[in-house]
Amino acid sequence: MRALVTGCAGFVGSHLTESLLSDGVEVVGIDCFNDNYGRSAKLANLAHTREWDGFDFVPVDLARGDLADLVSGCEVVFHLAAEPGVRSSWGSRFELYLRNNVLATQYLLEAATASKVARFVYASSSSVYGEAEAYPTSEDALPRPHSPYGTTKLAAEHLCHLYHRNHGVPTVALRYFTVYGPRQRPDMAFSRFCTAALDGERVTLYGDGRQTRDFTFVSDAVQATRLAATAPVAIGGVYNVGGGSQVQVIEVLRRIEQLAGRAVSVRNLPAQAGDVRHTRADTTRARADLGFAPAVHWEAGIQAQFAWTAGAGVVGA
């Protein structure tokens, strides 16, 4: 099989690419190295993938269009490339979110239509739910994005639905719930917590720390993503991808303090625009249709991320 992975140098994308390559899948990897975090970190994410002969890296900006040649010959498209982040999606940066999350997806779907791909897996986000109407939240809940970022992710989901219904593109949308683990983006909470604990520096915590998230370890997210590419009943569907536990952010920070053997100084700031109080995924549908079952408990996952942060030399970054 030959697969296209967009965002292959990113956090989840690099893990997915390695997983595919290790199973003998040829991968065309795309990344445009935008400015959401450093180019050097993304290149480091690709260090192992370049060891495989079956990996072909193409630095391309998807939003420039004309993607037919890239998609041609690929049976599966894994579309993970995006402009990430809730807090930075306001104001003048919103144009980037429209360009990289909506327009780029539309161009890729056009190319997938022409190439008749066997599956198009789109990485969406729990941010489409906003302040959800119930917890755990099922895919049948009314999406009510609480940020411009969530709005663009939902818009791209709608595009997937439109291309499936009108052009037969076999799309699947996955709503990731707060993915963490080795290589997590430097601006995300766990990365900042681990780095602060190792450096002995103060960390900024938005809100009171009692907000909860359904944290999903990266290997579980990769498992769900790959299952979505093969499960026959998944086509046209939308699925939650969650880790199976609802944990307070402050509880995670306390665990990281234990791992570091030192307390972390915390600077509390008010919750930011777009932040939600709670998330929790109902993964019943993903379990039934995809065979998805998260395997990594959050404490074991945090230990893995902390060990990676210490060993990867990102302290002080």
Catalytic residue among 149, 163, 180, 239: 149
Known active-site residue 149: yes
- Measured CA to CA, the distance from residue 196 to residue 160 in angstroms comes to 39
Closest by CA position to 205, among listed 246, 247, 248, 250: 250
Question: Burial level of 94, CB count in 10 A (0-12/13-18/19+)?
Answer: middle
Residue pair 85/149 in contact (Cβ under 8 Å)? The answer is yes
* Sign of the dihedral through C-alpha 245, 251, 257, 258: negative
- Coil, helix or strand for 123? strand
Say how far apart CA 204 and CA 189 lie, in whole Å: 9
Q: Rounded CA gap, 242 and 279, in Å? A: 10
List residues with catalytic annotation: 149
